[in-house]
Structure 1
Amino acid sequence: MIKEKLVGTVQRLVAKNRFGVAFSIKLREQCNSIIGLSLSSGIEPTQNGELLLIDVVAPRSRYFVDVGANVGNWSLMFADRMTHAKGLAFEPGPQTVERLRAALRGAGFGGIEVVASAVSDLPGTLRFWEEAGYGETSSLLSQHSHPDAKAVAVPVTTLDIEMQTRGVERIDFLKIDAEGFDLNVLRGAAGYLGGQRIRVLQFEYNAPWALAGGTIQAAFRLLEGNGYKVRLLMRDGLFIVNPAMAGEYFRYGNYVAYCPCECGELLEAGARPFDALFA
């Protein structure tokens, strides 16, 4: 009790000092960076666990969806490991989408349809900031994209709308890389998630989530509320984490979710407690 009172007194004194507040803000940023580094294995698919995940899921998949496909590098990796590649790739950037179509066509993946649209929780039209050179941080958020990015109006759709329109019964794997709008994409797939018609999914969590108003805890609530298990993807596999433990650190990382299914059971069998990362 005495210790708690002393800590409270110190906190109140620091809160009244502008230098103390400034230092606390800088300290919080450093702490977030440390937490982020502990929950990420980097951005390279061959090093961060993405390729291992693809190797498990792709051969067992009949239909996949790539939201934020850019020039198609991820789609090509996934499709190359499928028996008969079929799926849907979304890319809103007008220049980038042409490069994506050419890449898929050149690789002989005619079963993958390209949709020139952004994906969110509501259909409509939004400004998209497209970077030169098919930049991977092109985004619906101007603050996140490169300062030289050009704004262009793009159509916006939802996964529920697109899947229902095409009569897609089930998505075996959904990959989301929407530069901050990943949670919006998930909310726009509420119907398919509610029916567990998306077997396995992967989404990216990073700094632009804060700009878009998303939180990792909200993503966990949405997915777990629909019967999915959510795991952190790292170099050595999947790890069981409590999102409340780390809080909202807004640094790069990948999360995987799956419902009860063959692939889900296979992935869950290899999931380990977060503490195993430090063993």
Structure 2
Amino acid sequence: MLRRVARFISGRLLPRRAYTVLRGPLKGSRFILGSLSGEGGGASVYLGEMEPEQTATMAEVIRPGNVFFDIGANVGYYTILASRLVGEAGKVVAFEPVPRNIEFLRQHIEINSAANVILKPQAVSDTKGTVRFSLGPDSAMGHIGVADEGDGELEVETTTLDDVVSELGIAPDVMKIDVEGAEREVFLGAARMFETARPVIFLSTHSDELRAWCLEHLRGLGYAVRPLIAGEDGHEFVATHD
């Protein structure tokens, strides 16, 4: 019953109001209704049921005082989760190039008083500059490259992890990478960072080719890689370094 009510509210009422998460690691956090996609228009986040395995694993890994890089932050679900987990002594750096998502991300940082978050409205790549970015039909998702038929396109600023680490003077202890096909570029732009930093990596890959490349690259850096969800041979992984 509770879930049906939440879905009804999510889909029908007050689409720009912020509601409070009722349970789970994000209990007490607030998200704007309609900002998160998925079944029920994002109702699962308010019930503490959004991506439960990923959320639980991240909550186990991130520690107070950590630095967390959220690469492909979308509207900030994992940004806000990490903000709570790292605490006042930690930092979260959230990277997001899609204008619609950036606006929601800014609001979520504000309404959750996430003062430890640094927002970078950029795509992470292997070079610093600008690139054409293809928007999906709902303007919430996208990827670097030529737009598919019916999709929109815009020019976005790019940065590299090497440049950001140098600029901020901090390197990640944990990072999440979900960049809709630009995984290779993220790693290629972090060569200097990986000389000294060995963050725990939550990785989503978006093709079989990219999955194979990323796993080979990470293992070449000395990482052990396992599926994020035990027993599943999919495209989400956790990589750790001894």
* Fold conserved between structures, TM > 0.5: yes
- In the alignment, the residues of structure 2 paired with residue 187 and residue 125 of structure 1 have an alpha-carbon distance, to the nearest angstrom, of 17
- Using the TM superposition, give the Cα deviation of residue 167 of structure 1 relative to its aligned residue in structure 2, in angstroms: 0.9
**1:242-261 alignment, distance < 5 Å:** 253-260=235-242
**1:203-242 alignment, distance < 5 Å:** 203-207=203-207, 214-234=209-229, 236=230
Higher helix share: 1
Give the length in aligned residue pairs.
193
What is the TM-score when the length of structure 1 is the normalising length?
0.62
Structure 1, gaps ≥5 residues long: 1-43, 247-251, 261-279
Identity value in percent: 27
Aligned to 1:160: 162
C-alpha change, 1:133 and 1:107, in structure 2 (3 Å) is farther
C-alpha change, 1:123 and 1:181, in structure 2 (3 Å) is same
Aligned 8 A contact 1:194 1:226 in 2? no
Aligned to 2:109: 104
C-alpha change, 1:109 and 1:215, in structure 2 (3 Å) is same
Match for 2:227: what amino acid? L
- Using the TM superposition, give the Cα deviation of residue 124 of structure 1 relative to its aligned residue in structure 2, in angstroms: 2.1
Identify the match of residue 79 of structure 1 among 65, 79, 83.
Answer: 83
* Higher relative contact order (CA closer than 8 Å, sequence separation 6+): 1
- In the alignment, the residues of structure 2 paired with residue 153 and residue 123 of structure 1 have an alpha-carbon distance, to the nearest angstrom, of 13
- Using the TM superposition, give the Cα deviation of residue 88 of structure 1 relative to its aligned residue in structure 2, in angstroms: 0.6
Aligned 8 A contact 2:205 2:211 in 1? yes
Aligned to 1:55: 59
Structure 2, gaps ≥5 residues long: 1-48
- In the alignment, the residues of structure 2 paired with residue 60 and residue 110 of structure 1 have an alpha-carbon distance, to the nearest angstrom, of 15
- Using the TM superposition, give the Cα deviation of residue 256 of structure 1 relative to its aligned residue in structure 2, in angstroms: 1.2
Aligned 8 A contact 2:134 2:144 in 1? yes
- In the alignment, the residues of structure 2 paired with residue 177 and residue 79 of structure 1 have an alpha-carbon distance, to the nearest angstrom, of 18
Aligned 8 A contact 1:193 1:223 in 2? no
Task: Report the structure number with the largest CA radius of gyration.
Answer: 1
- Using the TM superposition, give the Cα deviation of residue 126 of structure 1 relative to its aligned residue in structure 2, in angstroms: 0.8
- Using the TM superposition, give the Cα deviation of residue 133 of structure 1 relative to its aligned residue in structure 2, in angstroms: 5.0
Identify the match of residue 69 of structure 1 among 73, 85, 102.
Answer: 73
Aligned to 1:46: 51
Aligned 8 A contact 2:79 2:94 in 1? yes
- Using the TM superposition, give the Cα deviation of residue 164 of structure 1 relative to its aligned residue in structure 2, in angstroms: 0.9
**1:175-214 alignment, distance < 5 Å:** 175-195=176-196, 197-207=197-207, 214=209
Segments ≥4 residues shifted beyond 4 Å: 131-134
Aligned to 2:39: none
- In the alignment, the residues of structure 2 paired with residue 112 and residue 167 of structure 1 have an alpha-carbon distance, to the nearest angstrom, of 15
- Using the TM superposition, give the Cα deviation of residue 67 of structure 1 relative to its aligned residue in structure 2, in angstroms: 0.7
What is the TM-score when the length of structure 2 is the normalising length?
0.71
C-alpha change, 1:149 and 1:103, in structure 2 (3 Å) is farther
- Using the TM superposition, give the Cα deviation of residue 172 of structure 1 relative to its aligned residue in structure 2, in angstroms: 1.1
- Using the TM superposition, give the Cα deviation of residue 149 of structure 1 relative to its aligned residue in structure 2, in angstroms: 3.4
- What SS does the aligned partner of 1:127 have? strand
Q: Are residues 1:119 and 2:101 paired?
A: no
Aligned 8 A contact 2:183 2:210 in 1? no
Match for 1:156: what amino acid? T
